[in-house]
Amino acid sequence: VPSPPASDAAALLAAGRGGDKAAVARLLSLVERGGDDARAVGRLVHGAGGHAHTVGVTGSPGAGKSTLVARLVGTLRRAGERVGVLAIDPTSPFSGGAILGDRVRMDDHVLDDRVFIRSMASRGHLGGLAVAAPAAVRVLDATGHDRVLLETVGVGQVEIEVAGAADTTVVVVTPGWGDGVQAAKAGIIEIADVFVVNKADRAGFDQARRDLDQVLDLTGPGRDGGWRPPVLATVATTGAGVDELVGAIDDHRAQLTVSGELERRRQARLADELVRLVAAGVDARVLDATRGAAWAAATAGVTDRTVDPWTAADTLIAQLLR
């Protein structure tokens, strides 16, 4: 059965919910492209979402995030879940065939009807990744995925923010990952709900674990009071420790639900998203206005020093808001 046309967002959503992966892909493309179609899809999926548990997986380049995500998908699938994976690729743009930068690891899952995998470029979205990623996650949520895994490289403020905006955030480190204080500075400690020392088959594993425990002792409880982020060990290449990781992720979800933190986090996230959307819209209008006569006049006034920049800005803002 061919998927519904792009013009019919409601039919695409229904098909996506029914398990049509091509329909899910088309919805994501529409959302990524922006414009009126993206709005139509966004409106629909916002109303239909809120059921998926979103899990961010972040950590330094090469820490084994993708290998771990593929393992998580395997465990979750065995438990009967429908799983969506969104990999934010920091360097290469999205291309139909590129899957987590490595076809081999995800190959088994690509053929699975109940696993949907998409990679997404981190640059080139209207309003930036912080707007584009939540929109894509929402599509996967609304099309009935029980779990949405979001892989981002833990370098760059936006990538860290995006992973931290999940319900549960897993931070992956490796033996010899370096100074815990550095990680704290990079903002990666604050977003962690679960720590994983991957590549536990390598020397230095104990040291890495001790480092993390020390940092956690210093920083106090995690970002929601009652939960101290556990520090787990995995060997993603063999799958060792992955079941325990899924256990910790589920424990965290249970804790979020019981404490009411899940609702609080989702609320805060939507509020943030709203701010970003408004800011992006205002930015676009500002950019437009710079081409106008009033702007040229204000610039001239500031340049010949008859007007100070603050007064000129106030005038332009007043005009913009009118």
Ligand X SMILES: Nc1nc2c(ncn2[C@@H]2O[C@H](COP(=O)(O)OP(=O)(O)OP(=O)(O)O)[C@@H](O)[C@H]2O)c(=O)[nH]1
Write down the least CB distance from residue 57 to ligand X, Å: 9
For ligand X, give the closer residue by CB, 44 or 235: 235
Ranges within 77-116 binding ligand X (CB under 6 A): 101-102
Q: Does 199 bind ligand X (CB under 6 A)?
A: yes
Closest to 166 measured CA to CA, from 88, 259, 244: 88
Residue number with the smallest Cβ distance to ligand X: 64
**Residue 63, binding choice from Mg ion, ligand X, none, Cβ under 5 to 8 Å by partner class:** ligand X
Write down the least CB distance from residue 66 to Mg ion, Å: 3
> Are 13 and 48 within 8 A, CB to CB?
yes
How many residues in total does the chain contain?
Answer: 322
Write down the least CB distance from residue 237 to ligand X, Å: 4
List strand residue ranges (DSSP E) for 90-167, in order.
115-121, 147-153
Write down the least CB distance from residue 219 to ligand X, Å: 24
| Bridge partners for 153 per DSSP | 59
For ligand X, give the closer residue by CB, 149 or 256: 149
N-to-C CA span, the chain:
51
Sheet holding 147-153, edge to edge: 115-121, 83-89, 147-153, 53-59, 168-173, 194-197, 231-233
Ranges within 231-290 binding ligand X (CB under 6 A): 235-237
Ranges within 26-65 binding Mg ion (CB under 5 A): 65
Write down the least CB distance from residue 79 to ligand X, Å: 22
Burial of residue 277 (number of CB atoms within 10 Å: 0-12, 13-18, 19+): middle
155 SS3 class = coil
Torsion angles phi and psi, residue 186, rounded to 5 = -70, -5
Q: CB within 8 A of 171, min separation 6: which ones? A: 58, 59, 154, 188, 189, 191, 192, 194, 195, 196
For Mg ion, give the closer residue by CB, 65 or 253: 65
Range in contact with ligand X (rule: CB under 6 A) among 45-53, 120-128, 198-206, 269-277: 198-206
For Mg ion, give the closer residue by CB, 38 or 100: 100
For ligand X, give the closer residue by CB, 37 or 201: 201
Write down the least CB distance from residue 64 to ligand X, Å: 3
Write down the least CB distance from residue 230 to Mg ion, Å: 23
For ligand X, give the closer residue by CB, 168 or 198: 198
For ligand X, give the closer residue by CB, 107 or 263: 107
For ligand X, give the closer residue by CB, 3 or 66: 66
Torsion angles phi and psi, residue 217, rounded to 5 = -65, -40
Q: Which of 64, 84, 134, 175 binds ligand X (CB under 6 A)?
A: 64
Residue 138-177 contact track with ligand X, rule CB under 6 A, x = bound: ---------------x------------------------
3-state per-residue secondary structure call for 275-293:
HHHHHHHHHHHHHHHCCCH
239 token code pair: 């799958």
- Judged by phi (left if over 0) then psi (alpha if -120 to 50, else beta), residue 204 lies in left
71 SS3 class = helix
Binding residues with ligand X: total (CB under 6 A): 17
Residues found near ligand X in the complex (CB under 6 A)? 61-67, 101-102, 153, 198-199, 201-202, 235-237
